[in-house]
Structure 1
Amino acid sequence: MTQAIGQPNIDVLRAAARGEAPMPPAAKLLGWKPLSLKPGHVRVQYTARPEWYNPQGSVQGGFIAAMLDDAMGPAAFTSLEPGQFAPTLELKVNFYRPVSAGTVIAEGRVVHRTRRILFLEGRLFGEDGELAAGATATARVGQMTPTDGS
């Protein structure tokens, strides 16, 4: 994601949501659609697809984990200073119920922050609005470094 010097991180996410800035590839793949962007809290809509099903006919757990991580990560990003980034160090997911294809909502929030570590929480709701999965994560605050895209 490109960012102008000094541009608040939450503005970067809002610009990406409006199509005015590049969307991170993983968010694009998952169909990331923000419903609410506040400092330290993000609510996102995804469309779970049948191609993500496991042999049992529900969304495979790795996709659920990815959606949760892709809600908690932006929540962390909104709480940081311009130019900072916080990659996930650890992610734990609890699966409560199967998720079917359709609209799902994920929420991510910053629970606690130290100078270098963020503690995050996420929840994912199925199309029926019922809680389907929850997650906690730890992320490390650092400076964003440009990549060559490889």
Structure 2
Amino acid sequence: MESPANILQWPSAKLMGAEFVSLDEQSGTVEMAFTPPAEFANMRGSVQGGLLAGPMDEAMGAAVYAATNGGLQLTLDINLSLMRPVPMERITVKAKAVKTGRRVTFVEAELFDHEGKLCARATATTMMTGWPGAEKGPDA
């Protein structure tokens, strides 16, 4: 399997200033860092809450990719809990697949600010899909 660092090639990851930090193969935890673009700021000067779903979704996608040996996921739902404002500085997201089935994976993530304070948690349900341009099977 190729590294989940491949996710950095996607336009969405580039927009969010994504950096692949590490993959702990034993626990299946992917760590990514993000530098929020200036356009993510709200009127208070912190990251707009809804836009935190993006970095968390990217990291959870990388965790599913790692847990499924390179499978592409489609996010079916995300539950996001915001715990504190996130300054417009580098953030870190740790994500891991909690349960992987044949087609559905449950995944979770935690987002930390530049001081290491926990700012948000998310859970998601994902479904495996084919890669764009790949031959479509009967389930596609």
Q: Same fold (TM over 0.5)?
A: yes
Aligned to 2:48: 60
Q: C-alpha deviations, 1:44-86, integer Å up to 9, x for none?
A: 111124331111221011221101101101100112245x311
- Equivalent positions of 1:65-104 (< 5 A) are 65-82=53-70, 84-104=71-91
The residue number in structure 1 matching 2:32 is 44
Task: Measure how far apart 1:120 and its partner are.
Answer: 0.4
List alignment gaps of at least 5 residues for structure 2. 135-140
Please list every run of 5 or more consecutive structure 1 residues that lacks an aligned counterpart in the other structure. Answer: 1-7
**Structure 2 SS opposite 1:141:** strand
How many Å separate the matches in 2 of 1:64 and 1:49?
12
Q: TM-score, normalised by structure 2?
A: 0.85
- C-alpha distance in structure 2 between counterparts of 1:146 and 1:38, whole Å: 30
Following superposition, the deviation at residue 128 of structure 1 comes to: 1.3
Which residue pairs with 1:119 in the alignment? Answer: 106
Q: CA deviation at 1:143?
A: 2.1
1:27-42 map, 5 Å: 27-39=13-25, 40-42=28-30
Give the structure-1-normalised TM-score.
0.80
**CA RMSD, 1 decimal:** 1.9
Paired amino acid for 2:61: G
Alignment coverage as a number of residue pairs: 132
Tell me how far apart the structure 2 counterparts of residues 116 and 49 of structure 1 sit (CA, whole Å).
Answer: 34
Sequence identity (%): 33
Give, in whole Å, the separation in 1 of the partners of 2:39 and 2:12: 16
